[in-house]
Amino acid sequence: MIAGNQLPILFAALLFTACNFSFKGNTGNDTVSETWDEAKPLQEIYKNYFLMGNIISPSDLNTMRFDLLKRHYNTVTAENHMKPSYMAPSANPASDNWAYRFSEADRIVSAALDAGMKVVGHTLIWHSQSPAWLTTGNKETVLANLEKYVSEVAGHFAGKLIAWDVVNEAMRDGLTSADANGSWRNCLRLTDSGWNRAIGPEYIERAFLAARAADPHVKLYYNDYNLNNPNKARAVFNMVRDINERYPHAGGRPLIDGIGMQSHHHIKTNPQTVETSINLFSSLQVEISITELDILAAGKLLEGNPPWNNGAAQQQADQYAAMFRIFKAYASDITRVTFWGIDDGTHWRTLDGNGGHGTLLNKDYSLKPAFFSVTNP
Ligand code: XIL
């Protein structure tokens, strides 16, 4: 029993604790009270909800970055080294033996598996980071290239991966609701997709069929960005529903296993739009994964090029918290949440000059407020 005159003291103590906690993370200048190797592992915090992932590069192997990955994440995705431009940068299409470059990806996969982590394949068929030779030629040639590429690359990694992003970013930007409610085939990018130009919309299902045949157990995903946009979400919904209705028993199950919501967000993204799309996709009875999460809080990609400071760090923390409250609420629909970047220093938006400080860790690996809102949203 607390005596009445002790209440103000208790209240002051609680207030002190709360304030102290909110100053734990920082933007780089304050003293850090907890380090990444002391903080409770994110993967442990979320073990009853979904897998926790981040990206990996060959240069991370045998460094503290690998230790960091191993502590906080149970799943890795190669940031670049399993993309077509790395797998098959040049080849002689006339030859049956294409010059695949598997060695870097193999190092990543075996190091991750040895460390007890799961690995996601990213990505087989994409309009970007893919060599032009793959999509050069008439329909017959390019379709043969697609089937050969998918079956040989998925075949190479067969049995080692939990999922493949089979097709990445096939939908074009700027879809209207009329587009989205029409045929999904007319929503696909065309001028900037060598695959669609040469083969037509059928390239999508052909890629999934080849992947299913090459590795029957790996989960096959369609992956895209801005899936919180209702029109893009509707187009993807229509495509996945149609393909799965036409291929309900591809190797014993519907052809497309999952939808990957990349989730490159910023502090002004409306979390409600994310929830609406998760709801929509869950009605398809497919897996949903958050595949490339980052939340920009500053920089050129945001209106007015806002600076990175304590206010931005707090807004970012609030946004991460809002997203994770939704992910937790929909945990039964969400298989995995993968971040696209370990720290701000090596984040792709830092390296491409846009900035934004999108990750959970400062470039010196100290924990940002965003880290603590993920641990406790
Ligand atoms: C990015 C990488 O992070 C960069 O290093 C690379 O220069 C460009 O690609 N959508 C995707 C990812 O599916 O593969 C992209 O990764 C980010 C956007």
| 90-111 residue pLDDT tens | 877 777 788 899 999 999 999 9
Q: Whose CA is nearest to atom 3 of ligand 1?
A: 348
265 in any annotated domain: yes
- What is each CA distance from 182 to 19, 171, 220, 236, 283, in whole angstroms? 53, 13, 25, 12, 20
pLDDT value of position 2: 36
Place of tokens 């090459």: 214
| 133 within domain boundaries | yes
* Residue with CA at minimum distance from ligand 1 atom 4: 348
Q: Which of 19-33, 140-154, 181-195 has the lowest mean pLDDT?
A: 19-33
Report the CATH number that the domain containing residue 214 is assigned in CATH.
3.20.20.80
Show the 3-state SS of 348-371: HHHHCCCCCCCCCECCCCCECHHH
Extract the runs of DSSP E, i.e. beta strands, from 126-186: 163-168
Is residue 79 lining ligand 1, measured as CB closer than 6 Å?
yes
**Per-residue model confidence (pLDDT) at position 317:** 98
* Overall pTM surpassing 0.75 (yes/no): yes
8 alpha carbon – ligand 1 mean position (Å): 53
Q: Say if residue 89's pLDDT is above 90.
A: no
Q: Is 80 in the pocket of ligand 1 (CB under 6 A)?
A: yes
- The pLDDT score that the predictor gives to residue 313 is 98
For position 100, what pLDDT does the model report?
Answer: 93
How far is the C-alpha of 369 from the C-alpha of 265, rounded, in Å? 17
* Confidence (pLDDT) at 257: 99
Alpha carbon distances (Å) from 102 to 33, 171, 212, 347: 42, 28, 20, 24
pLDDT at 96: 78
Q: Which residues are catalytic?
A: 169, 224, 292
How confident is the prediction for the chain on average, in pLDDT?
92
Q: Is residue 350 part of a domain?
A: yes
Q: Which of these, 151, 14, 4, 165, lies nearest to 82 by C-alpha position?
A: 165
Q: Is 168 in the pocket of ligand 1 (CB under 6 A)?
A: yes
pLDDT in tens, 204-259: 999 999 999 999 999 999 999 999 999 999 999 999 999 999 999 999 999 999 99
In a domain, 77, yes or no: yes
Q: Give the tens place of pLDDT for each residue, 287-298.
A: 999 999 999 999
- What is the percentage of the chain residues whose pLDDT exceeds 70? 91
| Residue 166 confidence class, pLDDT cut points 50, 70, 90 | very high
- Residue 73 has phi, psi (to 5 degrees) of -130, 145
pLDDT of the residue at 92? 73
In a domain, 21, yes or no: no
pLDDT of residue 21: 36
Q: Is the CB of 292 under 6 A from ligand 1?
A: yes
219 Cα to the center of ligand 1, angstroms: 21
325 is a domain residue:
yes
Closest ligand 1 atom, residue 225 Cα: 10
The total of structural domains in the chain comes to 1
Q: How far is the CA of 351 from the centre of ligand 1 (A)?
A: 11
Q: Is pLDDT of 15 > 60?
A: no
Nearest CA to ligand 1 atom 5: 348
Q: Could you read off the pLDDT of 301-332 as tens digits, one per residue?
A: 999 999 999 999 999 999 999 999 999 999 99
Q: Can you tell me which atom of ligand 1 is nearest the CA of 352?
A: 7
Lowest mean pLDDT among 25-29, 147-151, 270-274, 295-299: 25-29
Mutate to test the pocket of ligand 1, among 128, 348, 351 (most ligand atoms within 8 A of CB): 348
Residue nearest to atom 16 of ligand 1 (CA): 79
Q: Report whether pLDDT(33) > 90.
A: no
The alpha carbon of residue 58 and the mean position of all alpha carbons in its chain are separated, in whole angstroms, by 18
pLDDT at position 12: 39
Q: Whose CA is nearest to atom 15 of ligand 1?
A: 79
Contact 120, 109 (CB under 8 A): no
Residue 2 lies in a domain: no
Atom of ligand 1 nearest to the CA of 223: 13
| DSSP 3-state of 209 | helix
pLDDT digits (tens, 9 = 90+) for 342-357: 999 999 999 999 999 9
pLDDT at 17: 37
Sorting pLDDT into bands at 50, 70 and 90, what band is 13?
Answer: very low
For residues 186-213, average pLDDT: 98
Between CA 141 and CA 56 the distance in angstroms is: 33
Residues 349 and 299: beta-carbon distance below 8 Å: yes
Residue 6 has pLDDT above 80, yes or no: no
% of the chain residues with pLDDT over 90: 88
Distance of CA 118 from the midpoint of ligand 1 (Å): 20
Within a domain: 156: yes
Full residue range of the structural domain in which residue 228 is found: 29-375
The verdict on the CB of residue 348 being under 6 Å from ligand 1 is: yes
Rounded to the nearest 5°, which phi and psi values hold at 78? Answer: -70, 125
